[in-house]
Chain A
């Protein structure tokens, strides 16, 4: 009976435990053997080879990794970390972008003033906007660098040809994501940059009203490749709505799906390429 009562350790005992560091392992043990912990993580806590494997294999977020890898693939000098950083920047734009969506309305009358409101009145609104924009720009640069690295290491060669093709889709969608987002602030910079960009569609052979051979197809300024893109013959409110939907729903979904395939293929193609 007596030994059931909780023991209060003496100060000296406690000091001893702190000094020897034993206190930490005891606390860790308390936590990692609790029901809360063991029900959350599907593997033991102890640093054993088995648990190292399970850390990756039994975790939904980490399991896109292989459980083991070649040591050369760890070298930053080899991968420049650029694929991973691109993905991280993509995730950053998703998080900050969703926050921006709470305040932004893709309507000609509102869009610009929603941005002003966001910048001057919303707590951390300016920071969210800045992070979204700079991460998007940075992502364009890192994806180019990633591609450059993959080229320089010849990692597109068999068996990774198909993953390179997916990569080219990814770099295209990265640019399109950035471009569709460029219009949304609905300021002078946005409107005219997108006007310059979408004017090109006017010149599409056969399908643009100013393109070569257009007269054989009969496209007009109101019905051609460009008007399909911007919902009219000028970059106006319909273009804003179209770009918003493309930017927030359509392209991120496709790009996200392609990224998953991209990562899956890295594993299936035998992990990061190497000199063996």
Chain B
């Protein structure tokens, strides 16, 4: 009955189902051989680093987290630790777990395709390759003392002075009063999420019935947070904006 979806390339008269022994096990064996040999050679040639003994009184500059967390450490430039170090990782983990429940496109299940699921591929590639991998590469190679950016050919000058004249968004709009700043910043945030959500629901109103309200709502919130991170990076680098909203408890 499922014969409608014949694979594009017809393979000759070999049966569709194969014995795992020997066909898979021998592949696994070869693969294991290659990996173990590479690992051994690599380990003979390159030694793991061991620096001087731990010394709580001597803080290195820069102090870097393990390389796989450097993307998060880089986000610290743009966000307070409660977001970059706690909320963002939780959102990443929860967001990843939700992917199968949010992406209800039945196409592209079990084969490579770009055309049948363009948006999904774009979102994942952007999150993984840009926000995660590119930031890690930048953190490993380009972040020097004081977490300043250095090009690979530049000397890591620990006394490099970077003029930091960043201001908060309400301040940039001429608001000097604390309370009004908080209200203005909160309003901007609310407007961003509100308009973003509204626009998405309007554009995708036809999908509402098949996809469901909750799914679409969570989807667009996660997307807006991801885009928001990029917006904040751009605001900081391009316009020296530090916070959007400032309150005594929490600042974004």
Contact = CB atoms under 8 A, between A and B. Distances in A.
Contacts of A164: 97, 99-100
A18 interface: no
Interface stretch (B79-87, B164-172, B199-207, B229-237): B79-87
Interface in A139-181: 140, 144, 148, 151-158, 160-161, 164-165, 168, 171-172, 175, 178-179
Contact of B109 (A72, A140, A157, A212): A157
B54 A55 contact: no
Interface in B1-42: 2, 5, 7, 11, 14-25, 27-28, 31-32, 35-36, 39-40, 42
Contacts of B121: 152
A133 B66 CA distance: 12
Interface residues of B, number: 78
Interface in B104-135: 105-113, 117, 121, 124, 128
B213 to A, nearest CB: 20
Contacts of B181: none
A81 B2 CA distance: 28
Nearest to B114: A152
Nearest to A188: B51
B96 A168 contact: yes
Contact of A210 (B14, B66, B81): B81
A112 interface: yes
Nearest to A191: B54
A65 B25 contact: yes
B48 A197 contact: no
B81 to A, nearest CB: 3
A241 interface: no
B48 A134 contact: yes
B47 A130 contact: yes
A193 interface: yes
Given A52-B19, A70-B16, A195 B81 contact: no
B50 A187 contact: yes
A99 interface: no
B85 A273 contact: no
Contacts of A155: 109-110
Interface stretch (B57-65, B149-157, B183-191, B219-227): B57-65
Interface stretch (A9-17, A85-93, A247-255): A85-93
A154 B117 contact: yes
A88 B52 contact: no
Nearest to B44: A127
B173 interface: no
Given A71-B11, A205-B82, A196 B64 contact: yes
A71 B17 contact: yes
Contacts of A69: 17-18, 20, 23-24
A151 to B, nearest CB: 5
Contacts of A88: 31-32, 35-36
20 contacts: A62-B20, A67-B19, A81-B27, A84-B32, A88-B35, A119-B50, A126-B47, A127-B43, A134-B48, A135-B39, A153-B111, A154-B107, A156-B103, A161-B100, A187-B53, A193-B64, A203-B82, A205-B82, A208-B86, A273-B109
Interface of B: 2, 5, 7, 11, 14-25, 27-28, 31-32, 35-36, 39-40, 42-44, 46-56, 58-60, 63-66, 68-69, 72-73, 80-82, 84-87, 93, 96-97, 99-101, 103, 105-113, 117, 121, 124, 128, 249-250
Given A89-B39, A119-B50, A152-B121, 19 more contacts: A52-B21, A56-B21, A67-B20, A71-B11, A71-B23, A72-B7, A130-B47, A131-B40, A155-B109, A157-B103, A161-B100, A161-B101, A172-B93, A175-B69, A179-B69, A187-B54, A196-B65, A200-B85, A203-B85
